[in-house]
Amino acid sequence: MNHVAHCFLSYSDEAVLFGNFIGDFVKGKSWQDFPPAVQKGILLHRAIDSFTDNHTITRTSAGRIRDYTGRYAAPVVDILYDHLLIRHWDRYAPDLPFDTFAEWGYQSLARMEADMPEMLRRRWPQMQAGRFLHGYGSREGLEWVLHQFAKRLNGHLDATALSVFFFNELDTFSADFNGFFPDLAAYVREFRNAGVVQSRLA
């Protein structure tokens, strides 16, 4: 999953949010250098990624787009699923308006900007100014994210053709997402309630 899902699955614990948000930038055992609540967020990030990558439905979604993405299908599915989470937001957070959630995320992360890993700290002002969580909600915003990702892959992702295909098959991908996300949400609830570090993720 990508930014929207990781932040949503951290709600409403700011320390877990921060750990989850920086998770991709914390390598190996360096998660141990952070306070315990942030450690849990980092390990939650790893748990979400592992669960997602190994789920049958996400692999099915990846297969649907492989002609456009090649070996990058899995991370692209993460991006597409963020759009679908916002599209189906009321199903998963009926009592939490998306704008309320997003403002909590922006304000919470801004308070912890100084503690972000250096690379992420350099990106943060642009992310914050662009209201990065909102960006996944529209077709235009999703296409921008896909094109930015494609630039990093030196032509290995046909973002334009992928977008056309995705929106033409939106009902199919929505069915994939709505089959998968309840499983992930249940897994995350168990992980967060356990308060236990899972060594295989560390």
- Spell out a b/e string for 18-35, using b for 16 or more CB atoms within 10 Å of the CB, else e: bbbbbbebbeeeebeebe
Domain boundaries, the chain: 3-194
Considering the entire predicted model, what is its pTM?
0.94
Alpha-carbon 174 to chain mean position: 16
Q: What is the pLDDT along the chain (202 residues), one digit of tens a residue?
A: 999 999 999 999 999 999 999 999 999 998 989 999 999 999 999 999 999 999 999 999 999 999 999 999 999 999 999 999 999 999 999 999 999 999 999 999 999 999 999 999 999 999 999 999 999 999 999 999 999 999 988 768 999 999 999 999 999 999 999 999 999 999 999 999 986 444 344 5
Structure tokens at 42: 């980092």
CA distances from 21 to 7, 168, 192 (A): 7, 31, 15
CA distances from 154 to 24, 138, 149 (A): 21, 25, 9
Phi-psi region of 55 (alpha: psi -120 to 50; beta: other; left: phi over 0): beta
